[in-house]
Amino acid sequence: MSTTSSTAWLRELLGEDGRRDPYPLYARLHERGPAVALAPGDRHAAIVHGHDAVGRVLRDPTFHVLDAEYLDRGSTRWRAHPAVRTMQDSVFNDSGDHLARTRRVFGQAFGSTRVSTLEPMITRRTDHLLDLLAAEGGGGAPVDFMTRFALRLPSDVIGEVLGVPEADRAGFPERVRTFDAILELGQRTFRELRAADTAAEELTSYFAGLLAARRAEPEDDLISVLAAADGLAEPVLLANLVVVFNAGFRTTANLLGNGLHLLLTHPDALDALRADPSAASAYVEEVLRFDPPVHFAVRYAVEDTEVAGVEVPRGRTVLILTAAANRDPGRFADPDRFDPTRADNHHYAFSAGPHFCVGAALGRVEGRIALARLVTRFPSLALAAPPRPRRHFMLRGYDRLEVLCR
């Protein structure tokens, strides 16, 4: 057990250097043990970063997500913000039997059996976007991989699964980006919160219209299934449609962008994947461990407890650094080395326990198909310019990733 002031740790993490590259800080935290206790007046009771400790907290029923009951203890003003209400009504901050029921409904669309039937569609979409990359990058012109491929592929895939018409999808990325800003670690400005509220209202209104249309004329998609489902109130249905759609392409887009950047900066790994595209699943898992789209979670204790010897009083929160757990030297040999041949690669990129990502199987399949076909389609694929540093811990990825498709 180790005790320190959170002021220094969090100031460094949220500062410019920490946002650009948090891994040196994670390494120093590992030197202090699997968790560090913080002062009673600090924002959190502890930081949890060891692999086993993180897994324990994510699975332990003593620790809850920041649900409505928790938020109401501080203030009920959050209820005036549509963006926060949407998150609270979704699986992201749900718990207990209600969470299990919602996951069962959405699990029909995202289970491994259902996802396997989507592979031909994902392959067709991938090849179509690769054709567009080749056409736009003809003659050596740089192409923004994020805009032209990484955002479009998962948006199309999750759109097909849910039943969002293709013509409507172009308007989602900017709204989703604005809405997702409320998830970031640290304080949000009032301007950011108001913009997120507007995005939440627009997204909710859109899905309400689509839900009504499917009730009138069902189709072969998840929204039609949800329209006929019993037991889920309409605000809950709409909140989960917004959140599942958002997560369904933002996380996968960042998996693709982070993964491609890693490959292009690790030429030996890139050459090995080109030589054996069937190994793409292992590459996806190592990308998720080494450079995941999500770095943290927060839970609060519903009773007095402890984590790795660190006391956590009832009602206090813990900051869970899942990305740090993915580089725990006690769990992974040489954790700061990108190694797609790594065995027993059990990471927390998709969380664990009741809130394990419902779309994990779909994201993995999209990553496997896209990365394998991308690197074989363009045998001399290269970065056109170094990307701008990333600054987010939630949905961490590149805004632009310019490449030469050759």
Give the DSSP per-residue string, 331-394: TSSSTTS--TT-SS----TT--GGGS-TTHHHHHHHHHHHHHHHHHH-TT-EESSPPPPP--SB
Q: Provide the CATH topology of domain 2-404.
A: Cytochrome p450 (1.10.630)
Half-sphere exposure of 230 (CA within 13 A, CB side): 0
pLDDT in the model for residue 2? 44
pLDDT in the model for residue 51? 98
Give the DSSP per-residue string, 4-46: --HHHHHHHHHSHHHHH--HHHHHHHHHT-SEEE--TTSSSSE
pLDDT in the model for residue 111? 84
**H helix or E strand, kind and range, residue 117:** helix 112-117
Adjacent-strand bridge partners of 406? none
3-state class of 201 per DSSP?
Answer: helix
Adjacent-strand bridge partners of 191? none
- Measured between alpha carbons, how far is 150 from 174 in angstroms, rounded to an integer? 14
Give per-residue pLDDT as tens, 280-335. Answer: 999 999 999 999 999 999 999 999 999 999 999 999 999 999 999 999 999 999 99
- Measured between alpha carbons, how far is 273 from 279 in angstroms, rounded to an integer? 7
Per-residue pLDDT at 185 exceeds 80: yes
Per-residue pLDDT at 42 exceeds 90: no
Adjacent-strand bridge partners of 48? 35, 320
Sign of CA dihedral 110, 111, 114, 115: positive
3-state class of 207 per DSSP?
Answer: helix
- pLDDT class of 110 with cuts at 50, 70, 90: confident
- pLDDT class of 108 with cuts at 50, 70, 90: confident
Percent of the chain exceeding pLDDT 90 equals 81
Give per-residue pLDDT as tens, 56-106. Answer: 999 999 999 999 999 999 999 999 999 999 999 999 999 888 898 888 888
State the amino acid at position 48 in one-letter form.
V
Q: Alpha helix (H) ranges present in 45-95? A: 51-59, 68-74, 82-88
Adjacent-strand bridge partners of 164? none
When the pLDDT of each residue in the chain is averaged and rounded to a whole number, the result is 93
Residue with structure tokens 């363009």? 378
Give the DSSP per-residue string, 273-315: HHH-GGGHHHHHHHHHHHS-SB--EEEEESSSEEETTEEE-TT
Across residues 217-227, what is the average pLDDT? 91
Per-residue pLDDT at 232 exceeds 90: no
pLDDT in the model for residue 41? 83
Per-residue pLDDT at 3 exceeds 60: no
CB 403 within 8 A of CB 142: yes
Across residues 344-365, what is the average pLDDT? 96
pLDDT in the model for residue 1? 43
- pLDDT class of 36 with cuts at 50, 70, 90: very high
Residue with structure tokens 């030996």? 268
Give per-residue pLDDT as tens, 12-35. Answer: 998 999 999 999 999 999 999 999
- Measured between alpha carbons, how far is 24 from 254 in angstroms, rounded to an integer? 21
pLDDT in the model for residue 26? 97
Structure tokens of 275?
């030589």
pTM: 0.95
pLDDT in the model for residue 189? 86
- pLDDT class of 40 with cuts at 50, 70, 90: confident
- Measured between alpha carbons, how far is 294 from 349 in angstroms, rounded to an integer? 6
Give per-residue pLDDT as tens, 112-159. Answer: 888 999 999 999 999 999 999 999 998 899 999 999 999 999 999 999
Maximum C-alpha span of the chain:
64
Structure tokens of 39?
């002062």
Percent of the chain exceeding pLDDT 70 equals 98
pLDDT in the model for residue 7? 60
- Measured between alpha carbons, how far is 404 from 406 in angstroms, rounded to an integer? 6
CB 68 within 8 A of CB 74: no
